[in-house]
Amino acid sequence: MALLRQYTRAIPGFAALTSAGASLLGSASQLQSVRWATKRAGGSTKNNRDSAGRRLGIKKFGDEHVVSGNIIVRQRGLRFHAGENVGVGRDHTLYALTEGYVKFYRQRAGPKNAERRFIGVTFDKDTVLPRDPDVPRARRFTLVDTAAFVAKQEEQYADYRANQTE
């Protein structure tokens, strides 16, 4: 306001103009500046989100030791098929059914079919998959001591044969 008074004294015509403007606008402390937007407001979008990865892939590699229930591969669809001693979950996860070593191999399902990739679990590292189709599958009986069972059967058979000859 002090500057305004100085200008009104120096310029006679300006004094009348500024006094009229000051009475219309009120005091200088009430004056506020208006700021205009320098950029146009941007719109919002609904596409700025993403889901976390599903952690798919091979979890146990060739000749790696697994126990029953270990996940070998998590996959979408059957990129790998279940071989010996391997089960398939409802989301196509392959898991070990017995303790052993993981083996990867390829095999044709038929003469005109493409090669499929299989994963199997063997009881020892030296076993090679796929096995010959004429050879029976190797199985592990952990609930029964098979050596003792066979020895007991042979003993019973020997007793039976001894009783037959008497």
Q: What six digits make up the tokens of 96?
A: 């070990």
In a domain, 153, yes or no: no
In a domain, 149, yes or no: no
In a domain, 109, yes or no: yes
- Confidence tier at 24 by pLDDT (50, 70, 90): low
Tell me, what CATH number does 117's domain have?
A: 2.40.50.100
- Confidence tier at 30 by pLDDT (50, 70, 90): low
How many domains in the chain? 2
d(CA 166, CA 98): 48
Q: 156 in the Ramachandran plot: left (φ > 0), alpha (ψ -120 to 50) or beta? A: alpha
Range of the domain at 20: 1-26
Over the stretch 68-119, which tens digit does the pLDDT of each residue have?
999 999 999 999 999 999 999 999 999 999 999 999 999 998 888 899 999 9
In a domain, 93, yes or no: yes
Q: Is the pTM of this model over 0.75?
A: no
Q: Is the pLDDT of residue 28 over 60?
A: no
Which of 87, 84, 79 shows the shortest CA–CA distance to 140?
A: 84
In a domain, 35, yes or no: no
Q: What six digits make up the tokens of 151?
A: 């020895």
Kindly state whether residues 72 and 22 are assigned to the same domain.
no
Kindly state whether residues 22 and 70 are assigned to the same domain.
no
